[in-house]
Amino acid sequence: MNEMYVLVMSAATLGVIHTLLGPDHYLPFIVLSKARNWTRARTLWITFISGVGHVSGSVILGLIGIAMGLSLNKLEVLEANRGSVVGWMLIVFGVLYTAYGLYKYFKRGAHVHFPSFLRPRSIRHRDLHLAERDLEKDQDAGNLTPWILFLIFVFGPCEVLIPMLIYPAAELSGFGIFMVALVFGIATVGTMLLVVLLGYQGFSFVKLKGKEYQIHLFAGLVILLAGVGMQFLGL
């Protein structure tokens, strides 16, 4: 019983620490919530399902590996390879979103805006039509973004979880495997939700009236840096 208590407490502690030390676990959700103008409920829901997918992917892989009798070293190598793939996925996503941010920046930032009453009627109608088309495109991109995040997190590894699953498996304790996975998952997803909520609330005090188009570029750069940190700095 004491051993199981230590294992469960370790799972909870490592779940919190590995989430806090990995900015890729929360920064993309915070900056995209501002860029895509998500509500708090939508932001937390996207964070929740992505976190559950993140933990579930490693749990399923660990259970399959245990069932197949794979050694801990082989499972850790597999998780490391998954981490490399996800790091590149995050980098590519960051590059693409940065390019989108540059497009929005130069398209909106390079214009000289005059009051509507100083512009000819034909130009006002044309600008209104273009604005409506841009809004439709933004809505389409906004609907796709959460799915991209979810897929990235499903493929994302939880390296610290696999070794903790091995011990109860060696003791033939199905209950132990379940408890370790459950506690680790609650700690990881709970920490993600807390940090994202704090970031969301903090961002709500940042006023960007008239400069909303700049946040897309900022979001893309943050996601890109998170991917670089994960891929090359081991964050």
Are the beta carbons of 156 and 86 closer than 8 angstroms?
A: yes
Q: Please name the amino acid found at residue 192.
A: M
C-alpha–C-alpha distance, residues 4 and 10, integer Å: 10
**Out of 92-96, 102-106, 107-111, 121-125, which region has the weakest mean confidence (pLDDT)?**
121-125
The whole-chain average pLDDT of the chain stands at 81
Which among 44-58, 65-79, 95-109 has the top mean pLDDT?
Answer: 44-58
Percent of the chain residues past pLDDT 70, beyond the cut: 80
Handedness of CA 180, 182, 184, 187 (dihedral sign): negative
Q: What is the pLDDT of residues 146-164, one digit of tens each?
A: 899 899 998 888 878 888 8
* More confident call, 187 vs 70: 187
For 161, other C-beta atoms within 10 Å of its C-beta total 23
Task: Indicate if the pLDDT at residue 194 is higher than 60.
Answer: yes
Count of beta carbons in the 10 Å neighbourhood of residue 182 = 14
pLDDT tens per residue across span 163-183 = 888 777 667 578 888 899 999
Residue at 216: amino acid letter: H
